[in-house]
Amino acid sequence: MEDKETINILIAQLLSKDDENLRLRNLLDDLQREQQSGNMQILSKLDRALEELKSMRHDNKALSSALEAGSV
């Protein structure tokens, strides 16, 4: 009888650990999705900043050319 009780206790512990592993995997998946979303937002902001810098550079070149030509 003791062996059966021990086996039942061990099975219950294994099932509990399995549930905990599943919970942790789900949490990890959620965190990875959150991280990926954050990374995409950062990349999008960096792309916009780069485009703005390119535009400013173009404007500065045009202004510089105009100044050199004396038309400003």
Reported as a single tens digit per residue, the pLDDT across 39-66 is 999 999 999 999 999 999 999 999 999 9
Share of the chain above pLDDT 90, in %: 92
User: Per-residue pLDDT averaged across 7-11, rounded?
Assistant: 97
Residues 6+ away with beta carbon under 8 Å from 72: 63, 66
Q: What phi and psi values does residue 39 have, to the nearest 5 degrees?
A: -65, -40
- What pLDDT score was predicted for residue 61? 94
Helix (H) or strand (E) holding 11: helix 2-69
| pTM reported for the whole predicted model | 0.64
